[in-house]
Amino acid sequence: MTDSQTHTHLAERVEELLAADGPLPIVAAGDPVLRAGAAPYDGQLGPALLSRFVAALRQTMHAAPGVGLAAPQVGIPLRIAVVEDPASGPQEVMDARGRTPLPFRVLLNPVYEPEGEARAAFFEGCLSVPGWQAVVARHARVRLRGQDEHGRALDEVLTGWPARIVQHETDHLDGTLYLDVARLRSLSSNEAVAERWSHPTPEEAARELGFELS
């Protein structure tokens, strides 16, 4: 298949997704699109279609609800993601997690690299693995590079929960699910997390379930 044919095929798939009203269907773990790795975005959708697709991703993220969504999670293998976090919740939890508001933004071809050695471990979930959470130790501070939906360069340093969100969504574009890097002994249902492990940090869960935080 030529590049032109590939572009046309992807655009047609996006048009089909957008033909239905409402949030897009989210692909669940087990679908190969979540494991194949996404192709760099180089204009396959065109400005108008990209804008519509981004709006649908945002709508789907809000409806889930979630704080990030990558294109492969709706079956489109392109390096596109959206993130947004109003950062609401108990102040003690917000402070412990470094959870600060992350304004809506579109990430095209994002990559990140750690800034420093510090890591932070917290429970994390995924819209493609519904009903479950597990503890993931991630870089506490990362440098994000990429482009926005207008092709403008992104180059910024993120810390705390915004850094976690960016790592999670960028990993999706590389075919990595959070369970690949999680402490699997921490795997808990959403109900168990709410009932037992809703503390600001997962230290008690680590002691009781027998896993390392570092």
Binding residues for Fe cation: 126, 168, 172
User: How many CB atoms are closer than 10 A to CB 24?
Assistant: 22
Q: Is 169 an active-site residue?
A: yes
Q: Which of 5, 82, 84, 7 is nearest to 39 (CA)?
A: 7
- How far apart are the C-alpha atoms of 153 and 146, rounded to whole Å? 6
Contact between 154 and 182 under an 8 Å Cβ cutoff? The reply is: no
Contact between 136 and 122 under an 8 Å Cβ cutoff? The reply is: yes
Among residues 113, 149, 169, 208, the one annotated as catalytic is 169
- How far apart are the C-alpha atoms of 100 and 1, rounded to whole Å? 44
Give Cβ neighbours of residue 154 (< 8 Å, ≥ 6 apart): 105, 107, 110, 144, 145, 146, 147, 148
Catalytic site residues? 169
